[in-house]
Amino acid sequence: MIEVCVTMKEYSKKALLALEDGRTFTCKSFTGEGEAFGEIVFNTSMTGYQEVLTDPSYSGQIVTMTYPLIGNYGVNYEDIESSRIQVSAFIIKEYQDVPSNFRSRGTLRDYLMHENVLGIEDVDTRAITRHIRNTGAMRAYISTLDMDPSSLVKRAKSIPSMVGLDLVQRVATDKPYFWLQGKVLPIDPDSAKPDKSIWKNKNIKYSVLAFDYGIKYNILRCLENAGFEVLVVPASTDADVVRAISPDGIFLSNGPGDPEPVKYAINTIRSLLGYKPIFGICLGHQLLGLALGGKTYKLKFGHRGANQPVKNLLTGKVEITSQNHGFVVDVESLSSKDIEPTHMNLNDNTLEGFRHKKLPLYAVQYHPEASPGPHDSRYLFNDFIKLIENA
C-alpha cells in the first residue's frame, strides 16, 4: 500500500493557498498538480505525521504542521490509524525526500501521491499558525491550477461550514467487524441479525461494542491490549441491535466534525444510558454530553497536538495529552448534580472529561491511546475494565 514506484519527473509546482478572510500564501506542491479545500487547522506535534494523515477526525480539514521538517522518517505499515489518508491536504514548511529510519517503507511524497492528496511546502507555516490563532480556523482552498487570489478566496467562501456538518458518515464503517490481534476481521455476511451468540470469548474476556464514528486503530489496539473482545459497529447502529448483541460494555469513538448534527448517534446513546457501562473519547465524549442534556460549541482554533496539559480533578495530577478536536462540551450546560467534571484543559479551562455519579459511564475529550503522544492517560482503558466489573 505504501511502497509505490513513481517515475521520476518534476514534482514541484507553484501553488496558492487562499483563506476565506482574504489572506493568501504563495507556496509549492511537492506532489504535482492538484487542488484541495477544507477547514484549515494546525497541529503542534513534532512526530507522528503519518498518524495525523490517517486520523479520521481530520476528515474535511487541511492540516498545517508547526514542526518544520516533515518526511524525514518516511512512512510504514505500522503507524496508520485507518485504511486511508483522511486529510484534504497537508501543509509543511520543508519536505524531506530522503527518509532515514529502519521502519521506513517509502517516502511521504509517494504515499500522498498514491492516495491523490495534495502536499504543500515552502510556505511560512508560522505565519499560517499565528493567523489561525488570531482569527480562528476557517475555510481554505489550495490550487496549482488557479493562481488568481480573488478567484481562490471566492471558492474558499463557497465551501460548506464545519458547523452543522455531519462528517461521521464519510469515515465510519458500513459493516460490523471484529478487531482481532491488530487486524480487521469481517463479520460473516450471513449474520444479518446478530445476537449475543456472536461473541467468541464471552466467558473468557469482557466484550465491548465500539461505535465507529471515525475510530482510530490505536484505540482498538488499546482496548484489545486491556483484555477486551472488540466488536466495531456502524455509527447508525440502533439501540435494539446493541441490546440483542448484549455486550459487557459500550465504547463511543472519536470522529470528525460537529457533534450536534449526528442526531442518530445522540438518540441511540440516550436510549442506552444505564443499560451497560459506557466509555467515550473525543467525539464520543461530545455525543455522550449531548445525550445527557448538555450543549457543545466550536473552539476558535481547536486543540491539536501531542502536548496539551490536562488536570485530573480526581487526583490533582497533570497529564500531558494528545488531542485533535474543534468542538467541546460546555461545562456549564452539564448542570445535573449527578454529572461530575473530571478533567480540565489547563490552557483554556475547557472541559476535558466527566463522569456520572449514578450511571456507569465516563468520557474524555482527549486521546488516551495517544498515537502519537505521551502515555499519561492509558489508565483510562483499565478503568473501563473496573467500571464493568463494578457494574
User: Helix axis angle, 283-291 relative to 263-272, nearest 10°?
Assistant: 70
Contact 284, 325 (CB under 8 A): no
Catalytic residue among 20, 121, 282, 352: 282
Whether 340 sits among the annotated catalytic residues: the reply is: no
User: Helix axis angle, 379-390 relative to 217-225, nearest 10°?
Assistant: 60
Please provide residue 343's backbone torsions phi and psi, each rounded to the nearest 5 degrees. Answer: -140, 140
Work out the number of other CB atoms within 10 angstroms of the CB of residue 239. 15
**Distance separating alpha carbons of residues 291 and 276, to the nearest angstrom:** 15
Give the 3-state secondary structure of residue 89.
Answer: strand
In 3D space, the residue among 60, 64, 58 whose CA is nearest the CA of residue 82 turns out to be 58
Please name the residues in contact with 263: beta carbons below 8 A apart, sequence gap of 6 or more.
Answer: none
Whether 285 sits among the annotated catalytic residues: the reply is: no
Locus of grid cell 482481532: 180
Whether 222 sits among the annotated catalytic residues: the reply is: no
**Distance separating alpha carbons of residues 90 and 137, to the nearest angstrom:** 15
DSSP conformation class of 310: E
**Distance separating alpha carbons of residues 264 and 275, to the nearest angstrom:** 18
Q: What is the DSSP string of 338-380?
A: TEEEEEEETTT--EEEEEESSSSEEEESSBTT-SSS--TTTHH
Q: Tell me the three cell numbers of residue 359.
A: 450511571
Please name the residues in contact with 148: beta carbons below 8 A apart, sequence gap of 6 or more.
Answer: none
Active-site residue numbers?
A: 282, 367, 369
